[in-house]
């Protein structure tokens, strides 16, 4: 592994040194293909972000794929109802690794204005791991672009080897998440404890 100081010194002289890990992550980060998947009004902003005015193509993320088999990124754009939650988890399970999730808008984060509704899931992070959350109701396309850039930074920083390597390179970690079932009153289970860690208030 090359020393960071030597690397920047060499760069000043016009010699660029890189690692396979950096190259691999650089390629991954600049070709994040989202899933064509909108749940509510946030999807309208997602469409606007991919069109000419905001032009998500500048970040390599304009190729919205209609099949989960070809997508890297799930943008949960809108309210996840309890009827829709098992479908969301199942589609997420069908995406190939490495896969990422952006929770777009207040509804996807926590239920938003419909949080008190009996049929609304109070945040998609109860079932699937969320990488980036965008607040807003709905967030503007610039906010989605910022989320994609944040995700790119996250991808660029991922180590491919060692104990901290991401899930898709660790053979011991399962890639599928349990799909909740429709119960008489609520989804069963009502949350995935391996994924969801509610914030604890420390007194």
By CB under 8 A, name the binding residues for another protein.
67-69, 86-88, 90-91, 93-94, 96-97, 168-171, 174-176, 179
CB 85 to another protein: min, Å: 10
User: 121 or 145: whose CB is closer to another protein?
Assistant: 121
User: 37 or 114: whose CB is closer to another protein?
Assistant: 37
CA distances from 21 to 25, 27, 138, 159 (A): 6, 10, 36, 7
Assigned token pair, 58: 């500048």
Tally helices (H) and strands (E) across the chain: 6, 5
User: 115 or 168: whose CB is closer to another protein?
Assistant: 168
Contact between residue 40 and residue 75 where contact means Cβ atoms under 8 Å apart: no
CB 107 to another protein: min, Å: 18
CB 12 to another protein: min, Å: 31
Instruction: Name 144's Cβ contacts closer than 8 Å, sequence gap at least 6.
Output: 45, 46, 49, 56, 75, 102, 104, 134
Q: Using CA atoms, how far apart are residues 58 and 62, in angstroms rounded to an integer?
A: 8
CB 160 to another protein: min, Å: 8
User: 6 or 24: whose CB is closer to another protein?
Assistant: 24
Contact between residue 124 and residue 42 where contact means Cβ atoms under 8 Å apart: no
Contact between residue 189 and residue 180 where contact means Cβ atoms under 8 Å apart: yes
CB 32 to another protein: min, Å: 16
User: 11 or 31: whose CB is closer to another protein?
Assistant: 31
């Amino acid at each position: 592994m090359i020393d960071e100081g030597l690397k920047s010194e060499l760069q000043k002289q016009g010699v660029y040194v890189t690692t396979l890990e950096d190259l691999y992550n650089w390629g991954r980060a600049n070709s994040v293909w989202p899933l064509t998947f909108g749940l509510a009004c946030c999807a309208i902003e997602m469409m606007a972000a991919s069109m000419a005015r905001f032009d998500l193509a500048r970040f390599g993320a304009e190729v919205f794929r209609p099949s989960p088999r070809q997508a890297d990124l799930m943008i949960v754009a809108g309210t996840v109802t309890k009827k829709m939650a098992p479908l969301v988890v199942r589609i997420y399970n069908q995406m190939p690794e490495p896969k990422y999730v952006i929770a777009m808008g207040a509804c996807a984060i926590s239920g938003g204005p419909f949080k008190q509704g009996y049929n609304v899931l109070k945040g998609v992070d109860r079932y699937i791991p969320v990488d980036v959350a965008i607040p807003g109701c709905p967030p503007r396309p610039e906010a989605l672009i910022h989320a994609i850039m944040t995700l790119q930074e996250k991808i660029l920083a991922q180590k491919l080897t060692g104990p901290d390597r991401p899930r898709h390179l660790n053979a011991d970690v399962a890639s599928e998440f349990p799909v909740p079932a429709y119960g008489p009153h609520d989804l069963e289970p009502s949350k995935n404890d391996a994924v969801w860690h509610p914030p604890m208030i420390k007194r």
